[in-house]
Amino acid sequence: MGTGQELYKKAKCIIPGGTQLLSKRPEMFLPDLWPAYYRSAKGITVTDLDGNEFIDMSIMGVGACILGYGDPDVDAAAKAAIDNGVMCTLNAPEEVELAELLCELHPWAGMARYARSGGEAMSLAIRIARAHTGKEKVAFCGYHGWTDWYLAANLGADNSLDGHLMPGLEPAGVPRSLRDTAFPFHFNQIEQLKDIVAKHGKDLAAIVMEPGREISAEGGFLEQVREVASATGAVLIFDEITTGFRMTAGGIHLMIGVNPDMAVFAKSMANGYAMSAVIGISEVMESAQSTFISSTNWTERIGPSASLATIKKYIKENVAEHIIGIGNAVMKGWDEAAKVTGLKLHTSGLPTLNHFSLEYPNETELTTLFIQLMLERGYLAFNQFKPSFAHKQEDIIRYITVVTEVFAILKEANDSGTVMNKLKGPVARRGFYRLTSKKD
Ligand SMILES: Cc1ncc(COP(=O)(O)O)c(C=O)c1O
């Protein structure tokens, strides 16, 4: 067990749940063996606390580091912000330049507000939508963060969020009075949204969704959602926290051609620096002034400075084209490696937000073994991959060679029934569950 796992054991005793983000729990990857903490990260190379170096072919800071770790241009902008003072009695001028840039990229939008995390920005958007409409209920599809308006969907019927985030998400601590304020519908299921509108239309403040991700909109689904929102008077909010700056400079909705009333960005917009934004049509955004939305740390200077540098570089270097090429190469490589080794595998998702599933009843065991074998070969690997500008085609060629070798071992282990014997620790645990500090 490395220094990282030792530290994680301590963390679980002093930090409930061990980490600040569910998706960074080492148990989700490789229990007892995942390096857990990093000493440094640069480009696509991660160094753990014991000085071991790994190439990151997994989720690149949960999708935040679109340019790669420690991008020199973004870091220079952050350092300049530090040199000039990150906090002051006066405001950071970068806030205005960033609002102009975001509205220029999304011509339907007229105004922007900021926060520093995705979930926080989503709460801000919902508050503005409720303030604007004077209504309270929300129809939503997909995952939108940890805050009360969203988890309220699991009050009473504890399976509402199944299929949207993960089964078993507990809403303890969310006021019971929020019951019946958030209603889920599934992507491409316009009838489900229409049902919600039929029952709650007169009280509906917002319709919230990602405009696409795992699957694309079919049969004019987004156009129909737009129509329903306009007809009902609900504010249409596109959550672009994960999809934003993944396929194009801005929201993925720009490629689809359906405009929301508000869109929310975080993650990739600042290459890992804390930053999030809500943009929207001016008429809706102005309602931010009829409620109270205000926080000291939303005025610090590093976030908007890093975001401006990230977006400018993204446009200048045509990062979208690069990462789409890298993502496609990885998906093709997985398919070919599976074919060569006879492993049953299915790839899915956008090229820049992709993953594979191993089509076996013991998929979790097999995927855990994949992660273990790749780690032993110097890779942080997972069955998901989020490409960055720092990944080059030659990195992918080397990676796929190693993947092919590992897939062959998986196939042999599965055929001979020795997958569990080969695992050096417990099987990965996905989903939401409680960590007990000492034994887990
Ligand atoms: C679509 C979507 N919305 C909201 C969030 C929450 O953002 P954050 O983790 O920055 O609070 C995420 C994070 O994964 C997301 O993918």
SS in 3 state form for 264-323?
EECHHHHCCCCCEEEEECHHHHHHHHHCCCCCHHHHCCHHHHHHHHHHHHHHHCCHHHHH
Whole-number Å distance, alpha carbon 65 to ligand 1 midpoint, is 14
Whole-number Å distance, alpha carbon 429 to ligand 1 midpoint, is 20
Whole-number Å distance, alpha carbon 231 to ligand 1 midpoint, is 28
> Of 241, 245, 262, 355, which is best to mutate to test ligand 1, by the most ligand atoms within 8 angstroms of its C-beta?
241
Please tell me the chain's helix, strand, coil percentages from 3-state DSSP, rounded to the nearest 5: 45, 15, 40
Q: Could you tell me the mean pLDDT of each successive run of 10 residues in the chain, 440 residues long?
A: 94 96 95 98 98 98 98 98 98 98 98 98 98 98 94 77 68 91 95 98 97 88 98 98 97 96 98 98 98 98 98 98 98 98 97 97 98 98 98 98 98 98 94 52
| Cβ atoms within 10 Å of 219's Cβ, excluding its own | 9
CA–CA gap between residue 415 and residue 421 (Å, rounded): 13
Report the number of secondary-structure helices (H) and strands (E) in the chain. 14, 14
Question: Are 343 and 336 a contacting pair, CB within 8 Å?
Answer: no
Q: Report the pLDDT value the prediction gives residue 282, as an integer from 0 to 100.
A: 98
Nearest to 236 by CA among 259, 217, 202, 265: 259
Terminal Cα distance for the chain, rounded: 15
Q: Which residues line ligand 1 (CB under 6 A)?
A: 117-119, 122, 143-145, 210, 239, 241-242, 266
CA–CA gap between residue 278 and residue 99 (Å, rounded): 10
Nearest to 21 by CA among 56, 57, 50, 61: 61
Give the residue whose CA is nearest to atom 2 of ligand 1: 144
Residues of the chain with CATH 3.90.1150.10: 3-63+318-422
pLDDT in tens, 101-123: 999 999 999 999 999 999 999 99
Return the CATH architecture of domain 3-63+318-422: Alpha-Beta Complex (3.90)
CA–CA gap between residue 384 and residue 428 (Å, rounded): 14
Helix 363-376 and helix 393-415: axis angle, to 10°?
130
Whole-number Å distance, alpha carbon 242 to ligand 1 midpoint, is 7
CA–CA gap between residue 305 and residue 312 (Å, rounded): 11
Which one-letter amino acid corresponds to residue 113? R
Residues of the chain with CATH 3.40.640.10: 72-316
Give the residue whose CA is nearest to atom 14 of ligand 1: 242
Question: Are 319 and 67 a contacting pair, CB within 8 Å?
Answer: yes
Give the residue whose CA is nearest to atom 7 of ligand 1: 118
Give the residue whose CA is nearest to atom 4 of ligand 1: 144
Which one-letter amino acid corresponds to residue 288? A
Question: Are 270 and 74 a contacting pair, CB within 8 Å?
Answer: yes
Q: Are strands 45-48 and 38-42 parallel, antiparallel or unpaired?
A: antiparallel
Enumerate the H helices of 317-351 as residue ranges: 319-341
Whole-number Å distance, alpha carbon 142 to ligand 1 midpoint, is 10
Whole-number Å distance, alpha carbon 297 to ligand 1 midpoint, is 19
Q: Between the CA of residue 209 and those of 129, 186, 212, 222, what are the distances in Å?
A: 14, 10, 8, 10
Q: Are strands 182-184 and 204-209 parallel, antiparallel or unpaired?
A: unpaired
As a CATH number, domain 72-316 is: 3.40.640.10
Whole-number Å distance, alpha carbon 309 to ligand 1 midpoint, is 22
CA–CA gap between residue 195 and residue 312 (Å, rounded): 43
User: Would the CA dihedral through 105, 109, 115, 121 be positive or negative?
Assistant: negative
The atom number, within ligand 1, closest to the CA of 62 reads 14
> Of 144, 151, 271, 352, which is best to mutate to test ligand 1, by the most ligand atoms within 8 angstroms of its C-beta?
144
Q: Report the pLDDT value the prediction gives residue 1, as an integer from 0 to 100.
A: 76
Question: Are 274 and 303 a contacting pair, CB within 8 Å?
Answer: yes
Beta-bridged to residue 355, according to DSSP, are 348, 384
Q: Are strands 262-265 and 235-239 parallel, antiparallel or unpaired?
A: parallel
CA–CA gap between residue 325 and residue 401 (Å, rounded): 18
Give every strand in the sheet of 379-381, ordered side by side.
38-42, 45-48, 53-57, 379-381
Beta-bridged to residue 235, according to DSSP, are 206
Burial of 273 (0-12, 13-18, 19+ CB in 10 A): buried
Opening angle at CA 422, ends 416 and 425, nearest 5: 145
CB neighbour list of residue 292: distance below 8 Å, 6 or more residues apart: none
User: Would the CA dihedral through 330, 354, 239, 296 be positive or negative?
Assistant: negative
Q: Are strands 235-239 and 204-209 parallel, antiparallel or unpaired?
A: parallel
Tokens of 31: 């229990």
